[in-house]
Each structure stands twice: as C-alpha cells, then as structure tokens.
Amino acid sequence: MKQLESGVTAAKGFRAAGVQAGVKPGRNRLDVGLIASDVPCTAAGLFTRNLVKASPVLLDMETVSDGRAQAIIANSGIANACAPNGMLHAQEMQKLAADALGISQDLVLVGSTGVIGMELFTECIRDHMQELVGQLTDDPAGSDLCARAIMTTDTVKKEFAFEEKIGGKMVRLGGISKGSGMIHPNMGTMLAYLTTDCAISSDLLKKALKQVCDRSFNRISVDGDTSTNDTLIILANGMAGNPCICEENEDYDAFVSMLETLCVCLARRMARDGEGARHLITCTVRHAENEAEAEQLAKSVISSSLTKAAIFGCDANWGRVLCAMGYSGVSFDPQKVDIRFVSKAGSIDVCRNGAGLPFDEELAKKILEEEEVIIEADMKMKDAEVTCWGCDLTYDYVKINGDYRT
C-alpha cells in the first residue's frame, strides 16, 4: 500500500473544488466544497446517532438508500440543523449542484456544518455555483480546496489517499474530513467524504464502511458531544477496472484493509486537532476479555476529563486512568492491571498489578510533553486488544466554545 499526496481527487474520475460563497455573514474563508465523479457511483453512508438530525443528514439518508450517487456538495459556517426551512434549503443545495453538473438531483448528496439553529440562505451558494463547478479539477489542488471549505474550528485540513493493486489493477482511495469539537464515539461533528475508483457492489461497500467506521471514527473522542450533522459517505465509481468485488474474498479483504488505513489516518488527525488540543492521546488496552470490552475500556480513558486534563498538565497521574477504566462498566480485576506511558521521548511504567510504582518524575514529564502520548493498559485477561484516540483538555477549549455562535 502506497500513500499519495492527494485526497478525494486521487481516484480516477473524481474532481473537486472549493469557493468562498459567504454562507455565514462576516466569515472570511472558503465555505462551499464540491466533489463530483465523471460517472455514477455505488455509494454508502453512515450518519449521526443523535435523535436530533440536521436536514442534510435526513436528506442524505433518503438519497443514498438506493446505493447510488455521483456528487457531494457541502458547506461550512451554518449547520442547517434545527433551522427554519432546513429541508427546503438542503434540497435547494442539492438541485443547484445537480443542475450545474447536468445530473439527476437524486445523485447529489448534501452536507452542512457549523452553527446550529441559524437559517441557511442558499442565494450565496447559487451565486457562486458556476464558479464552483468551473473550478472542478482532478488535481490535488481541488481536493485541498474542498478539504479547507468544510473546516469550521479545525486548525489543519484532514486529507489522505492511498493506492494498492486489487484484482490485478491499481486501485486508489482518498478522503477528506473535518472535525475538531463535538467529537465522541459513534462519530462526532464530522463530515468525512471518501472516494475510490474500485469496482465494488453497494452492499459490500456499505458493509466495509460500517466495519471500518467502528474501528476508526467510532474510536475517537474530543469532548463527549455527539453532533446533529455527523456524516460519513463513500463513493466508488469502478474506473480502476478491477473485477467487481461482489463477494467477501481476498479482493474484499484488501479493500477493507486500505479503507481502514485511510479512516484511521483521518480519525487520528481529527483527534489531534481537537479544539484547543496540544496532545494526541492514544490509549491501547491489551489482553482484555474481548474486543468490545477492550474498546469500552479505552474509550472510557480517552473520554475522561480528568485524564485529559492530566495529559495537558504533563502530569503522570495514572490513577485517573485506572479510575476511568473502573467506571467504564467493564468487569475486571484492578489488582492485575499494569499501566505505562509512552512517547517519542521514551516509556515509563507507572502502575503494576493495580499499585503505583516509584518512577522518575522528570522522565515522565518529558514523555508527556511530546505531541502524541500513548497510554498502555494491560488487563492480563485474554487476547483482545483495541486502540482509541482522544486529545487533552485545555483552557483554549473553553475559549473556543464560549463564544462559538457569536
């Protein structure tokens, strides 16, 4: 598998663009992105589990239900959630893109992210639609513009692409995502758009997406909030020319492996870019009873406000880690647990068999000062192992969200 310097335009037949349309008054940045395939695609999507769903989410759930799509239009700045005339505006965005691309409206998916409750007036998008379509390109620059157009409080774009030979043909898979706050397992306030030129049936595409999402986007947390707009979509146009993957064989396994690599990269980047974050927290739970319990334990650690605050302060307060596992709901023997902190600066054992160890505080601080801090917990039960990702909790998180709307 080879990593490429691109994103959603890496796969054959996909173009992308981004423009500044002025969706949210006073916001001076790119805010509308477009992804389009030269041919109709098999498609699959996963969406927020929040009972309160934004209008674009409801529209996409219906649109993608037949497993077909060809384009995605998305805006940032205003979420079009719990907003006046929300569905009308989402459908208008869909129609504007369809008419400009010359395709059927039911082949266009829509995404929005930003402030909840504000009306999304689509006149500005209509005024910039021809500009947006005119800038569509299969160059990496198109993916870059689209990735930046869907950012809100993100400080860096999230964009990756890979290629691998499947079925005797070189298959490419790329993606962009946004997400910085309102991030919690079961997806967060994220938009993630993936494109591939692999030929694969819609049923297997959806199965692969669900399987991989559970191991990537559903294993990150920034602040414990699950958004109204979470959307993960993949389009597959088959232009790589590989034999269509219509059963779970070696080609399917290779595709799933590549898809998981892409989604883990995007998920890690979102966790690292958590609002105000200075550290990426990686928690690996080993030798748990089963995968579900290992995941539950690791999620509890990365979601713990006290653990997150300790990492921000570079304080090797391992008791907060053990405490977070203790209220996770998983049954285990605390007197068997070992805990270690690891980073590029080294590693240090801080707890053995549920009891504290004497350790070098200076070394511990150096380890915790690194950009990525790994918390390893050995449960000494069976063979299950799971890794989840989060970030530290800083003063800046409160500053960013204290006046987010205004």
Q: What is the CATH number of the domain that holds 359?
A: 3.10.20.340
Last residue of a domain, one of 233, 248, 272: 272
263, 180: one domain: yes
Question: Do 224 and 122 share a structural domain?
Answer: yes
Question: Residues 6 or more apart from 394 whose CB is under 8 A from it?
Answer: 276, 277, 278, 312
Q: Annotate 141-158 with b (16+ C-beta within 10 A) or e (fewer).
A: ebbbbbbbbbbbbbeebb
Long-range CB pairs of 205-210 (<8 Å, 24+ gap) are 205/42, 205/43, 205/44, 205/67, 205/234, 205/236, 206/44, 206/67, 208/252, 208/255, 208/256, 208/259, 209/44, 209/45, 209/46, 209/234, 209/259, 210/46
Clarify whether residues 256 and 311 are in a common domain.
no
Distance from C-alpha of 160 to C-alpha of 212, rounded to nearest angstrom:
16
Say if residue 182 is in the same domain as residue 317.
no
For residue 311, which amino acid is it? I
- Please tell me whether residues 193 and 230 are part of one structural domain: yes
Number of domains within the chain: 2
Quick one: which of 32, 64, 376 has its CA closest to 206?
Answer: 64
In a shared domain, residues 9 and 124: yes
Query: Are residues 361 and 340 part of one domain?
Result: yes
Residues 226 and 337 in one domain: no
The residues facing 282 across adjacent strands are 374, 389
Q: What is the pLDDT of residue 20?
A: 97
pLDDT, block means (10 residues), the chain with 406 residues: 96 98 93 98 92 94 97 96 96 98 98 93 97 98 98 89 98 91 50 97 97 91 64 97 98 98 93 76 97 96 92 95 97 98 98 97 97 97 96 72 60
Cα distances from 277 to residues 16, 200, 269, 365, in angstroms, run 30, 38, 12, 17
Q: Maximum distance among all alpha carbons in the chain?
A: 68
Q: What is the pLDDT of residue 197?
A: 98
Residues 264, 234 share a domain: yes
Q: pLDDT at position 400, please?
A: 60
Amino acid at 232: L
- Tell me: do 235 and 320 sit in the same domain: no
Q: What is the DSSP letter of 140?
A: H
Where b means 16+ CB within 10 Å and e means fewer, 76-98 reads bbbbbbebeebeebbbbbbebbb
- Judge if 289 and 231 occupy the same domain: no
Query: Which has the closest alpha carbon to 17: 2, 6, 32?
Result: 32
Residue type present at position 165: K
Provide the H-helix boundaries in 202-342: 202-214, 250-272, 291-303, 305-312, 318-326
Residue 74 lies in domain: 2-272
Please report where in the chains the tokens 């205003």 appear, as a residue: 78
CB 228 within 8 A of CB 187: no
Domain end, chosen from 221, 253, 272, is at 272
User: What pLDDT was estimated at residue 50?
Assistant: 82
Domain end among 272, 304, 338: 272
CATH number at residue 8: 3.60.70.12
Q: Are both 320 and 259 inside the same structural domain?
A: no
Q: Which entry of 9, 152, 189, 226 is annotated as an active-site residue?
A: 189
| 63 annotated active-site | no
Q: Report pTM.
A: 0.87
